[in-house]
Structure 1
Amino acid sequence: MTLLPPPSPDSLPLRRPSRAAAEHAADAGPGVLVRVTQPDLKRRQELERTRGRLVLSSLGFGALFLAVAMKATWSTVIAPADPVRLNAAVRATQPSTEHAARRAPITDRNGEILAISLPVTALVANPRVLQDPADVADKLRTVMPYLDRDKLVERLSGDRGFVYITRAMTPREQQGVINLGIAGLDFEEADRRYYPQGRAAVHVLGNVDVDGNGISGIERTFDAVLRQHPEKPLKLSIDVRVQLALRDAVNQAITDFNGIGGAGVVLDVNTGEVVSMVSLPDYDAGDISDASPEQRFNRVTVGIYEPGSTFKLLTAAAALEYGTANVNSSMFDASRPIRYGRFTISDFKGKNRWITFPEMLAYSSNLGAAHMAATFGPQRQREFLKTAGMLARQSIELPERAAPLVPPASHWRDINMFTIAFGHGISVTPLHVVTGISALANGGILRQPTLLAQPPGTQREGTRIVSEATSATMRKLMRLVVTDGSAKGAEVPGYFLGGKTGTAQKTGPHGGYLMNKRIAAFVGAFPIQSPRYALYVMVDEPKPNSKSFGYATAGWVAAPAAHSVIARIAPILGLVPEDPANPAIIQATSLPLQPRAPARPTAQAGGAAVMTPATARPPQSAAPRAVPPAEAAAPRSTGVHPPVVPPGLRDGARAMPIPNLPAQPAPLPQPVPLRLTMMERGEAPRGGLVAP
């Protein structure tokens, strides 16, 4: 190979051979050498490296697109995703924009919402930032004209750093405030308690404060539970349909007789569930700020009243349970008043003769009840009432519960026994009365009332206060009061109601009774042959009207209200009217007013009592006679009940003679009924009261 000499310094710089020269060199054959410079070699190496990178990138993108295509084919053709689960998964990965309620809803036994918390927007302000509180107040009132300007200016003034302007705003109002563009105003997410049923069951539900804390009723009792489990509704035993029907009936009775208030209860006698509880006057649960103390007062659990003649059912049950009286043969002297010192107990429209056991309840005889209580005495009377739950607060899921007013054990004397036998000298709540009477009707088991819905078939524990036999007899007696007694106005054909009326005068703030101010009440159970529900209706201070012929007693006021309630709620509760001619029902509910051929006791001179044939006439009422001082000084028997054992009593039972009572110091021209006071301090009454 021939080497070319190096170029001379004066020669021209070497140039890249032209394409023609390169082609010529290639055509010249292998023997001809082509000179390649170092920059050309480096450039060729970079091109080779770039080509490799492009190939690798192409392969990577190809694999990526292939994977995407395979995934899309799998998700859309082979195994498409469930859109519901997909949306749930998407929502789970996103922050929630909804405000979670901090308090659980409350429902009735059928799931109807009684109370619920809903998210709201509150408007707050920082007064330290606001320059002109008056101007800000004027601008805010253009959006929310219901705001009070003076109060708003006062709230926006001062050195506080945080104040509430309104606790709840509508979206339109919120947008209006935003459009104002006022610095120092802000919004806060919160929740607010709403009561969709308005006034229904307001005293049961109670209320919450502005911060959502329970302050009364169920809201207060279960405050912690409602906060800890906001997702789980609290189900009550209340049936809102029955609640509305009971409220309408009680309100109508108050209107018709111009009363100042009233109350009503419907109770399941087998479970103790309170199906309805009404206290009037009431208020809208969503606006407690305008409610008066009278409207917030729960007459069912806080109001204590003398129960009047409704207590005669307990007196009769005690006499039957103790075996000191017999429904078929015992008779009681209602021919003349009972005198205790200078006090007199008499009947309202009495029969003025000896009466039978059933007649004592049917005609609501105070004298008969007093004589009946004397057969078992004050000590056993108090024991029975204590067992029946009349001497302590009721155990129900409400913080508003009043204790009854009763004479202390050391002062429960004969005069207390007499008056308490017909429902005076003791004050209890309406819930006490309906709970005790439901126990007499359901077979003798006392169950504490509850406001919580019980699962179907639940057997709640209770205390037996009377035997099943006594309960069966009491059902017949209660039915007799409706068919032949003072509660005829409560009768609803086909539903076999049994019960008792009661009228009691109200006591004054300093003791003593108030004239023409009374409580008219009815308590009963239905259907009485197989009781399901107990009912209590009461009107406070009813006034006579033209339709009542000048009367405002329970038979004219409360009994018709009970009729209205049962006629409306019985179909709602699934009760079907029964055939009045059904022999089985007649046998289970019937009892004659005057059992056949009873031995009739009479009182003779000196207080001795003898049994007389059934054909002998009972002694007629005698006029009061003057009592000589010598006779007045000696103890005597009143002859109000013979100290003998009437036939038909239980084995081993014996009649207890009425205790010797002080003689009347001076004769009365006529047996004038006086008023009897309450026995809070165990003192003797200062007057008389007669009430059917």
Structure 2
Amino acid sequence: MRLWPFRKQVSAKSRSVALPPLAEAAPADMSRLLRIESDETKALDAARSRLRVMGLSLAVGFALLGARAIDIAVFGPADAAPSQRQTQQATVRGDLFDRTGQVLATTLETHSLYADPSLVWDARETAEALAGVLPDIDVDALTEDLGGRGRFVWVRRNLTPRQRQAVFSLGLPGLGFRMEPRRVYPRGRLASHIVGYTDRDLNGLAGAERAFDGSLLAGDGRPVALSIDMTVQFHVAEVLAASMVEFEANAATGIVMDVHTGEIVSMVSLPDFDPNRPSDATPAGRLNRAAQSVYEMGSTFKAFTVAMALETGTATLESGYDATGPLQIGGYEINDYHAENRRLSLTEVFTHSSNIGSSLIALDVGA
């Protein structure tokens, strides 16, 4: 055999030796490393999932807190002082109407202002700021209340929408609003004695509000209709007010009744009051003279005397009665205030309101 230079001769034995398999050449712990790498990947994926869930939960929580903060800032906390909780009426108080369907009394939801003294930064400054938008507030008294150790103080109940907005715009800490029902009387002074009024807790205190308190609080909100007619009521009040001015009277009263049914169509007593602000009413204005005062019928009774004589046939319109001088009866002397000093017919007795003639008519009937 010829040998070539620079080339190592390979024997047949060495050619027959095969190379080891590739698998045998890999590290023995490769499969274990792959398993570890797979477990780490799964753990990282699980951690990322937990972080996503936690982040989403935090986002939802902060969103709820933000919504609640806005709700408290706008409407105030639902209950700042449970120990001072004011229980509202569990039932709806019914409305009052006149016979034509006009609303005389109804209930509206209003905002009431309260304070938590523990959250008020400066009692004096807060009281003075509130007095700027609610002028009738007693600054000294409110400062004392806001400086106390309690957790709940009423500042003003039943605010108007404009008053609530003015207080809200101040941005004072420690103040809040609570919704409360308020009894409202759209007709104001008109028929105030008939309608009456309630206290802050909607309990009837006077008039129809008190007389029908049970029916108005029946729980179904059913209204109660009165027999009065507000159109008639207005005209009677107008006439009486003009008469008071004309005759410089201190008071006046008038009643209109349906003679067929006995229903009171109008009842006016002057002076009167505004049932929306009953605390401002004077004793004279609160008195219902048509129902609470006692009067002698006086000359108004002459109508019954004349009617009695005509109905029994004791007299006619042309019957005459001697009114030339006083009449002595039972030791009393009866005179005429505007004496005619002459003989009067029955018609003239009634027209001139003669006390002497009316007494003679009653004597003839046998009263």
Fold-level match, TM-score > 0.5? Answer: yes
1:347 to 336, 344, 354: 336
Provide the rounded CA distance (Å) in 2 between the counterparts of 1:173 and 1:330: 71
2:288 to 277, 298, 309: 298
Q: Which amino acid aligns with 1:206?
A: G
Residues 217 and 256 of structure 1: CA distance in aligned 2, closer, same or farther (over 3 Å): same
The answer as to whether partners of 2:91 and 2:219 remain within 8 angstroms in 1 is no
The answer as to whether partners of 2:91 and 2:217 remain within 8 angstroms in 1 is no
The match for 1:263 is 253
The answer as to whether partners of 1:125 and 1:156 remain within 8 angstroms in 2 is yes
The match for 2:188 is 198
The match for 1:220 is 210
The match for 1:335 is 324
Residues 253 and 176 of structure 1: CA distance in aligned 2, closer, same or farther (over 3 Å): closer
Instruction: Give per-residue Cα distances to partners, 1:167-187, cap 9 Å, x unaligned.
Output: 123445445545555453322
The match for 2:86 is none
The 5 A counterparts of 1:211-250 are 211-229=201-219, 231-250=221-240
The match for 1:276 is 266
The answer as to whether partners of 2:318 and 2:347 remain within 8 angstroms in 1 is no
Provide the rounded CA distance (Å) in 2 between the counterparts of 1:158 and 1:328: 80
1:286 to 249, 252, 276: 276
The answer as to whether partners of 2:258 and 2:264 remain within 8 angstroms in 1 is yes
Q: Which amino acid aligns with 1:216?
A: A
The match for 1:95 is none
Residues 180 and 259 of structure 1: CA distance in aligned 2, closer, same or farther (over 3 Å): closer
The answer as to whether partners of 1:102 and 1:191 remain within 8 angstroms in 2 is no
> CA shift at 1:293, angstroms?
0.8
Instruction: Give per-residue Cα distances to partners, 1:496-525, cap 9 Å, x unaligned.
Output: xxxxxxxxxxxxxxxxxxxxxxxxxxxxxx
Name the % identity: 39
> CA shift at 1:122, angstroms?
0.5
Q: Which amino acid aligns with 1:284?
A: D
Residue 151 of structure 1 aligns to a residue in which SS?
helix
Instruction: Give per-residue Cα distances to partners, 1:377-410, cap 9 Å, x unaligned.
Output: 5xxx5xxxxxxxxxxxxxxxxxxxxxxxxxxxxx
Unaligned runs of 5+ in 1: 1-7, 16-98, 382-692
Residue 176 of structure 2 aligns to a residue in which SS?
strand
> CA shift at 1:331, angstroms?
4.6
The answer as to whether partners of 1:106 and 1:114 remain within 8 angstroms in 2 is yes
1:151 is the counterpart of 2:147 = no
Residue 109 of structure 2 aligns to a residue in which SS?
strand
1:208 is the counterpart of 2:198 = yes
The match for 1:361 is 350
1:12 is the counterpart of 2:21 = yes
Provide the rounded CA distance (Å) in 1 between the counterparts of 2:305 and 2:218: 47
Residues 351 and 213 of structure 1: CA distance in aligned 2, closer, same or farther (over 3 Å): same
Higher Cα radius of gyration = 2
The TM-score with structure 1 as length reference comes to: 0.38
The 5 A counterparts of 1:433-472 are none
The TM-score with structure 2 as length reference comes to: 0.68
1:312 to 255, 280, 302: 302
| Larger relative contact order, structure 1 or 2 (CA cutoff 8 Å, min sep 6) | 1
1:137 is the counterpart of 2:127 = yes
1:112 is the counterpart of 2:102 = yes
Instruction: Give per-residue Cα distances to partners, 1:50-73, cap 9 Å, x unaligned.
Output: xxxxxxxxxxxxxxxxxxxxxxxx
Residues 163 and 102 of structure 1: CA distance in aligned 2, closer, same or farther (over 3 Å): farther
> CA shift at 1:334, angstroms?
2.6
The match for 1:525 is none
> CA shift at 1:341, angstroms?
6.9
The 5 A counterparts of 1:73-88 are none
Q: Which amino acid aligns with 1:345?
A: I
Unaligned runs of 5+ in 2: 1-16, 25-88
> CA shift at 1:202, angstroms?
0.9
Q: Which amino acid aligns with 1:372?
A: I
Residue 193 of structure 2 aligns to a residue in which SS?
helix
The answer as to whether partners of 1:101 and 1:119 remain within 8 angstroms in 2 is no
- Structure showing the higher helix proportion among its residues: 2
Provide the rounded CA distance (Å) in 2 between the counterparts of 1:301 and 1:171: 37
> CA shift at 1:190, angstroms?
0.6
Runs of 4+ in 1 over 6 A off after TM superposition: none
Q: Which amino acid aligns with 2:117?
A: P
Provide the rounded CA distance (Å) in 2 between the counterparts of 1:347 and 1:283: 38
The match for 1:372 is 361
The answer as to whether partners of 1:123 and 1:167 remain within 8 angstroms in 2 is yes
Q: Which amino acid aligns with 1:314?
A: F
Residue 300 of structure 1 aligns to a residue in which SS?
helix
Provide the rounded CA distance (Å) in 2 between the counterparts of 1:178 and 1:332: 78
The answer as to whether partners of 1:324 and 1:375 remain within 8 angstroms in 2 is no
Residues 328 and 263 of structure 1: CA distance in aligned 2, closer, same or farther (over 3 Å): closer
> CA shift at 1:254, angstroms?
1.0
The 5 A counterparts of 1:394-473 are none
The count of aligned residue pairs is 287
> CA shift at 1:206, angstroms?
0.8
Residues 155 and 220 of structure 1: CA distance in aligned 2, closer, same or farther (over 3 Å): farther
The answer as to whether partners of 1:237 and 1:274 remain within 8 angstroms in 2 is yes
The answer as to whether partners of 1:101 and 1:191 remain within 8 angstroms in 2 is no
The match for 1:103 is 93
The 5 A counterparts of 1:519-558 are none
The answer as to whether partners of 1:105 and 1:230 remain within 8 angstroms in 2 is no
The answer as to whether partners of 2:314 and 2:365 remain within 8 angstroms in 1 is no
The match for 1:57 is none
